[in-house]
Amino acid sequence: MDMKDFSLEGKVAWVTGASYGIGFAIASAFAAAGAKIVFNDIKQELVDKGIAAYKEEGIEAAGYVCDVTNEEQVQATTQAILDKFGKIDILVNNAGIIKRIPMLEMKASEFRQVIDVDLNAPFIVSKAVIPSMIKNGHGKIINICSMMSELGRETVSAYAAAKGGLKMLTRNIASEYGEYNIQCNGIGPGYIETPQTAPLRVPGNPFNEFILAKTPAHRWGKTSDLQGPAVFLASDASNFVNGHILYVDGGILAYIGKQPQ
């Protein structure tokens, strides 16, 4: 085994929605492994904040304003990246939203918005990037799925539908383009410590206690827990891994829960 297979030296990685949070952590890990980092966000303000955050970490990242649900913008951004860097070796479809609304109270327009960002956008961006990967003879696509790719829960009907669809889109991209040396896999994060989950993680909060009880690791995940799996799936070490969803959840999906006392 050659440990150089885990290196991303000389690779160009585009991580969508990576101004902060999980996307930022994954892009930072790619940079540490040697990749050049490209990211986008929906507003210039977020792109500027992202560039500043990467700079603080000693990472030179190229940021673009791009709405990943807009096919024309995605095609233009893809071309801009190719013009500047000459290739896109790695794509991480990270941008996503969630709306926690009971199904009977959710408007169809709200459902469509979640599907558009969490499922349609990965299709649009992958479609834009795959032709250059075919031309170059290799490529890695990583879709950020979720435990909701496998499970349902109250108030997340749109999110679960989108992430379930993303799991199958992942498998279908692998099926269609594996012969071109393109590997498409997914990462399914468990409950991760981010600014968005901070209110839920307050000690004594029933939801916090619920998550700790359902997780064999008995803790929330950290964004750093996703870095190793992401680098593996982006590297040559995973060249025969295709159509797989790697759940990084502390064991939740393997665990039925404690027997009541």
Q: Could you list the active site residues?
A: 159
| Alpha carbon separation from 119 to 126, 143, 162 (Å, rounded) | 11, 10, 5
| pLDDT tens string 36-87 | 999 999 999 999 999 999 999 999 999 999 999 999 999 999 999 999 999 9
What lies within 8 Å, CB to CB, of 21 at 6+ separation is 194, 195, 196, 223
Q: What pLDDT sits at residue 199?
A: 85
Nearest to 157 by CA among 215, 209, 110, 116: 110
* pLDDT, mean over the chain: 96
Distance CA 216, CA 257 (A): 8
Q: What is the DSSP letter of 68?
A: T
Q: What pLDDT sits at residue 11?
A: 98
Q: Is the pLDDT of residue 1 over 80?
A: no
Q: What pLDDT sits at residue 109?
A: 98
Sign of CA dihedral 42, 75, 123, 147: negative
Cβ–Cβ under 8 Å, residues 128 and 175 = no
Cβ–Cβ under 8 Å, residues 34 and 27 = no
Q: Is the pLDDT of residue 178 over 90?
A: yes
State the amino acid at position 202 in one-letter form. V
Q: Is the pLDDT of residue 222 over 80?
A: yes
Q: By three-state DSSP, how is residue 86 classified?
A: coil
pLDDT band for position 94 (cuts 50, 70, 90): very high
Taking the model in full, what pTM does it have?
0.97
Q: What pLDDT sits at residue 257?
A: 83
Cβ–Cβ under 8 Å, residues 166 and 186 = yes
Q: Is the pLDDT of residue 261 over 80?
A: no
Q: Is the pLDDT of residue 260 over 80?
A: no
Distance CA 103, CA 113 (A): 14
Q: How far is the first Cα of the chain from the last one, in angstroms, to the nearest whole number? A: 48
Cβ–Cβ under 8 Å, residues 67 and 40 = no
Q: Is 259 exposed, middle or buried (0-12, 13-18, 19+ CB in 10 A)?
A: exposed
The strand pairing partners of 140, in sequence order, are: 90, 183
In percent, the amount of the chain with pLDDT more than 70 equals 100
Distance CA 60, CA 82 (A): 17
Q: Is the pLDDT of residue 233 over 90?
A: yes
Choose the weakest-confidence range: 49-58, 145-154, 175-184, 232-241.
Answer: 145-154
Mean pLDDT of 25-34: 98
Residue labelled with tokens 């982006």: 234
